[in-house]
Amino acid sequence: MQSPRRNAEGRPLGTCDPSSSGSPAHGGGSRFEFQSLLSSRVPGADPISARLRASESPVHRRGSFPLAGAGSPQTLPPQLPEEDRIDLNPSFLGIALRSLLAIDLWLSKKLGVCAGESSSWGSMRPLMKLLEISGHGIPWLLGTLYCLSRSDSWAGREVLMNLLFALLLDLLLVSLIKGLVRRRRPAHNQMDMFFTVSVDKYSFPSGHTTRAALVSRFILNHLVLAIPLRVLVVLWAFILGLSRVMLGRHNVTDVAFGFFLGYMQYSIVDYCWLSPHTAPVLFLLWNQP
């Protein structure tokens, strides 16, 4: 025999509650107990309680299931800064420049065989440093000024005056480009150069290479030399430029642009050639009785 169903207070359903105001015949107490039983078994029957539980759910907290009556707007995820984004469509020019830079750094490091005493050709480092001094600007400036003061012919003074102008123009242009580009010297370089200034901490372009290309072209055009001597002048300029990479002073592109800049500097000097007719005041300063 089945036991009668009981309500939440433990009384059998269908029995009369003495404290209830309804009559058992009309079932008022039974309806009240049945409604109490439904409200206790179905906790979501109250709409206010259901709304509170929905607001506390993890789906709603994440913002993926907002309530229809919510007044606050849905917040968007923060945007990443421009430098943290990945460019998925780089330009062809950018790829070419990055590839050229990578090849330049790799080749410069491979050719830096005299960068230190422990390098593969470290024993030749003193000879390379002596070659470095032969292309320095100070010996060339002092030598040109000395020869200009000792010259006793107008033709010699004219050539030396223009050589001095070329050397000063080279120092000015190289310093200006180095200050604008500000490319650091290779990481394997040792800063033990002879008489450096503030812009010498930068690498692009190679001042020794521009000077070698300028002076060699100047000598070949204004001095009468035998063929062996002309070949030696060209070899000196080429080996001096190569030594800059072997010593670890410059990258390959620094030297290549240095040759180009030195070649073009002579064209400027030749176009602005100084003579007693174009610049008589300068030649009067060196006039001797």
Instruction: Give catalytic residues, as residue numbers.
Output: 208, 250
Alpha-carbon distance of 29 to 19, in angstroms, equals 10
